């Protein structure tokens, strides 16, 4: 299955899946936040047959492009041919999080071969700063090899995804700390196993996780400051020579320490775990969709094997073949909590907040003063959205939920 249809002129899009109206408030706020951040690229709402007419009308009223995709489920839970898409199975294999079964449909983004680049976003996200670099031809925070590799149209077998020098997609790591101690999470999901936790127990910087950003972000800034401090700005040639040697020694020691830290992180369980809230991909590149489709049909895609549905599948099928993005592109709200990774988090650096777990911001009621800062950010943006829409006379009958 390849999706050849294109609903916007741009070859590069943000995409967000909506299968029912419960996440419509999130998608509307997300779309508004992208516009407020002055993104140059359109957001396309991917939807299935299960989405109601009122929700579709709300999207179209706001000129949010929509594109229908088929519902995807593992073979044991697949929609039988002739059944209406979106029909629920009698027993959901994810009773603790029923929405996980619908999350497999997000993987349809890998089949959108009419687009050159797609950044898949969850509807419970809010963009705080422009991040168009993720859709540029050579994203500075992704290795250039993401643009490399054979392109067989997505469904062929001439090139295995990731067989070339570059990763198949980009994503941020998952946080394994499980601060709410949710039952059913894998036993290795502990603070000690989380890549965002250093040996000292502190968080890491925005550019400190993922081999593709070695020497960038906080690490690069620290390296430059060390170099400038050692070299100075004047002195004799002998002094300059001595300082240069000192700089080289300090730089070598810094690089060695960084390599050791990266090696230690690669040994952690969390090194292989991604969060599926934001995925940077090139549909059709190297047959990635063919691998996903084959795994969904293999009978191996069970809830026991894939506890987090789509993101577990991506982590397993493409183990060692995805690029780790800095946390700022997928700022899980729990990272900001004290005792989790508050020492790593920066309100000024985060570009995209991910409101994982429940309740979602739009489900919260009460005094705004009782909300955490990330929830207040969401409500501030949504209030601006509503005022903007009211000024333009949008029909409120299609936005009530």
Asked whether residue 72 is assigned to any structural domain, the reply reads yes
| Mean pLDDT, all residues of the chain | 80
The pLDDT of residue 273 is 97
Query: Is the C-alpha dihedral spanning 48, 53, 55, 60 positive or negative?
Result: positive
b/e per residue 79-104 (b: at least 16 CB within 10 A):
beeeeeeeeeeeebbbeebeebbbbb
CATH code at 127?
3.90.550.10
Domain ends where: 266, 282, 309?
A: 266
Query: Is the C-alpha dihedral spanning 77, 78, 81, 84 positive or negative?
Result: positive
Q: What is the mean pLDDT of residues 118-144?
A: 84
Q: What is the mean pLDDT of residues 392-397?
A: 71
pLDDT at residue 235 is higher than 50: no
Write the burial class of residue 138 (CB in 10 Å: 0-12 exposed, 13-18 middle, 19+ buried): exposed
Count of domains in the chain? 2
Same domain, 305 and 393: yes
Same domain, 167 and 234: no
Asked whether residue 175 is assigned to any structural domain, the reply reads yes
- The radius of gyration of the chain's CA atoms, rounded to the nearest angstrom, is 22
> Cα(154)–Cα(287) distance, rounded to whole angstroms?
4
Same domain, 246 and 280: no
Domain holding 328, by residue range, is 12-195+271-398
What are the pLDDT digits (tens) for 263-293?
666 779 999 999 999 999 999 887 999 999 9
pLDDT at residue 8 is higher than 90: yes
The pLDDT of residue 199 is 52
Proportion of the chain above pLDDT 90, given as a percent: 62
101: its two tokens: 């079964």
Structure letter (DSSP) for residue 56: H
Q: What is the mean pLDDT of residues 26-42?
A: 99
Split at pLDDT 50, 70, 90, the class of 251 is low
Query: Is the C-alpha dihedral spanning 345, 348, 354, 359 positive or negative?
Result: positive
Q: Is 19 left (phi over 0), alpha (psi -120 to 50) or beta?
A: alpha
pLDDT at residue 9 is higher than 50: yes
Same domain, 61 and 180: yes
Asked whether residue 1 is assigned to any structural domain, the reply reads no
Asked whether residue 254 is assigned to any structural domain, the reply reads yes
Asked whether residue 202 is assigned to any structural domain, the reply reads no
Same domain, 148 and 250: no
The pLDDT of residue 368 is 76
Please state which of the ranges 24-33, 147-156, 158-167 shows the lowest mean pLDDT: 147-156
What are the pLDDT digits (tens) for 62-105?
999 999 999 999 986 554 333 444 444 458 888 778 888 899 99
pLDDT at residue 205 is higher than 90: no
**Quick check: helix, strand or coil at residue 47?**
strand
Kindly report whether the global pTM for this prediction surpasses the value 0.85.
no
b/e per residue 168-187 (b: at least 16 CB within 10 A):
bbbbbbbbbbbeeeeeeeee
Please state which of the ranges 49-53, 255-259, 322-326, 388-392 shows the lowest mean pLDDT: 255-259
Same domain, 116 and 50: yes
Same domain, 162 and 302: yes
pLDDT at residue 354 is higher than 70: yes
pLDDT at residue 29 is higher than 60: yes
Same domain, 276 and 228: no
Same domain, 243 and 135: no
pLDDT at residue 147 is higher than 90: no
Asked whether residue 295 is assigned to any structural domain, the reply reads yes
The pLDDT of residue 98 is 82
The pLDDT of residue 380 is 96
Same domain, 73 and 174: yes
User: Which candidate, 138, 164, 140, places its Cα nearest to that of 150?
Assistant: 164
Asked whether residue 112 is assigned to any structural domain, the reply reads yes
List C-alpha distances in Å: 49 to 19, 46, 95, 158. 8, 11, 23, 33
Q: Which residue has the higher pLDDT, 370 or 68?
A: 68
Same domain, 83 and 175: yes
Proportion of the chain above pLDDT 70, given as a percent: 70
Same domain, 146 and 278: yes
What are the pLDDT digits (tens) for 157-203?
223 333 455 799 999 999 999 999 998 899 999 999 999 997 544 45
Q: What is the mean pLDDT of residues 342-371?
A: 93
pLDDT at residue 294 is higher than 70: yes
The pLDDT of residue 20 is 94
Asked whether residue 5 is assigned to any structural domain, the reply reads no
């Amino acid at each position: 299955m390849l999706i050849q249809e294109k609903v916007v002129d741009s070859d590069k899009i943000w995409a967000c899946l909506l299968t029912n109206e419960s996440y419509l408030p999130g998608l509307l706020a997300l779309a508004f936040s992208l516009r407020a951040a002055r993104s140059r690229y359109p957001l396309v709402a991917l939807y299935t047959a299960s989405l109601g007419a009122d929700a579709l009308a709300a999207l179209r009223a706001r000129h949010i492009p929509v594109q229908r995709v088929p519902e995807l489920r593992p073979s044991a839970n697949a929609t039988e041919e002739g059944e209406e898409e979106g029909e629920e199975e009698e027993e959901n294999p994810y009773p603790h999080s029923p929405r996980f079964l619908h999350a497999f449909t997000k993987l349809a983004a890998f089949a959108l071969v009419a687009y050159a680049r797609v950044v898949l976003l969850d509807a419970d996200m809010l963009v705080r700063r422009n991040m168009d670099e993720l859709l540029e031809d050579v994203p500075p925070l992704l290795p250039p090899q993401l643009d490399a590799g054979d392109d067989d149209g997505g469904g062929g077998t001439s090139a295995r995804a990731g067989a070339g020098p570059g990763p198949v997609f980009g994503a941020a790591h998952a946080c394994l700390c499980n601060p709410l101690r949710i039952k059913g999470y894998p036993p290795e999901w502990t603070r000690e196993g989380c890549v965002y936790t250093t040996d000292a127990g502190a968080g890491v910087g925005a550019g400190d996780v993922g081999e593709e950003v070695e020497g960038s972000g906080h690490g690069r800034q620290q390296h430059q400051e060390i170099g400038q401090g050692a070299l100075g700005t004047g002195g004799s040639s002998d002094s300059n020579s001595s300082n240069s040697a000192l700089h080289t020694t300090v730089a070598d020691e810094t690089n060695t320490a960084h390599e050791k830290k990266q090696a230690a992180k690669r040994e952690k369980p969390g090194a292989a775990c991604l969060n599926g809230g934001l995925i940077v991909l090139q549909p059709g590149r190297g047959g990635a969709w063919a691998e996903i489709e084959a795994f969904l049909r293999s009978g191996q895609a069970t809830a026991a094997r894939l506890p987090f549905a789509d993101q577990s599948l991506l982590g397993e099928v493409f183990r060692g073949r995805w690029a780790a993005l800095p946390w700022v592109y997928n700022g899980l709200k729990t990272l900001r909590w004290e005792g989790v990774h508050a020492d790593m988090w920066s309100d000024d650096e985060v570009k995209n907040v991910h409101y994982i777990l429940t309740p979602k911001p739009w489900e919260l009621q009460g005094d705004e003063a009782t909300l955490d800062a990330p929830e207040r950010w969401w409500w501030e943006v949504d209030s601006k959205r509503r005022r903007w829409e009211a000024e333009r006379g949008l029909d409120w009958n299609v936005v009530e939920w």
